[in-house]
Structure 1
Amino acid sequence: MATSNPVVRYLESRKNLTGSACGIAGLALSFTGAAGSLWPLIVVALYAAGALIAPPERTPPPPFPNAEEQLDALRSDFVTLRGYLAEIELPEGAAGRLAELDTLVDALLEPGWVSDPEHLHVLARAVRQDIPEAVDTFVRTRWWSRVAPGAVPPERHLERQLAALHEEAGQIAAALQDAEAIRQEAHTRYLEERGKS
């Protein structure tokens, strides 16, 4: 664990440890008599040489959350989104589209399915941005369409948006299905070939 105290950090550094090891070698030389009366200068010089040749400290990369941690946070956000959507009154067509999308996203967020970073990104964008924005825009536009009727009904736009999001999530589901089919086929081949040997 890294400390914030610069003195302690230097004492634990590679430069200090390498320099100290070289300085101890200089002390060993002085005890054998090889250093003579200049032994303090030799110890300091060896410490400095060791500190100079030591490899620099490597800063570790930041601990970003792994796929499972990202998925846990996304599941929590999905629960929050569901709470928001439960309070919104939608027309029957849009409510049906939203229910289909909800079922699909819920299935994709089950543990053990989505681990690809691109798929996680698409789902996170849908849950945290696209779905709430589509519904909120519908609610705001619906209010204005009551005041100024005659435009394209906002329900149509919402249904199209939800259909596009469903198609995007469906592509993830299809990719997962293909991956599982390939995995099953590979396992079948493995078992058949193992039985022949």
Structure 2
Amino acid sequence: MQTNPKDDIQGLIYRPEYFQRDAQKSLLEQIRAVVEQAPLFQPVMPKTGKPFSVKMSNCGPLGWVSDIDGYRYQPTHPVTRLPWPDMPDMLLDLWQELAPAAPAPEACLINFYEPGARMGLHQDRDERNFDAPVVSVSLGDTATFRVGGLKRKDPTKSFRLQSGDVVVLGGEARLAFHGIDRILKDTSTLLKNGGRINLTLRRVNPV
């Protein structure tokens, strides 16, 4: 594994071009099949109801949702009320390689970023298990990824994530604040109409 050369946060692992072009195409087709069963939905912020700038779906036993009542994991799609589709084997194999000591992932959050979409600094802390890492896959247009420390006001660093790149947040970096500053339009031809898909694998519950 190659640690991110642009960041010295312990536990952050950066694997550029983990998925080559053919593998990206294959994974994209599998994610499209997932979204056919579990359509993208527009989450909103708790309390305020302000819409996110990204659209979401999930696959796996659990899915992360956000609505007026708060953030949570649940076993069904918030619109269709149907169970989430199974997680593609390519993602399970990725988890097994990069997090072999961790129990199997229970959720894969699918975020679709259109040009102009972003994600503010946040921690992934809605899980009941912080021992397992968070594994993230980028598909499509390049994004500027920002990561900091365990406090929102800690210094941050940023670097670009291209299509096929993988990032792991584990160890001290498991609860690091991170976000997406911007999407660089027309930097990939993987998605016909542009944009970026981010796949985030998480373990939710203790064993």
**Where on the TM-score scale, by shorter chain, does this alignment land: which range?**
under 0.3
Structure number, greater radius of gyration: 1
Q: Larger strand proportion, structure 1 or 2?
A: 2
- State the structure with bigger RCO (CA 8 A, min sep 6), 1 or 2: 2
TM-score by length of structure 1 reads 0.20
Q: Larger helix proportion, structure 1 or 2?
A: 1
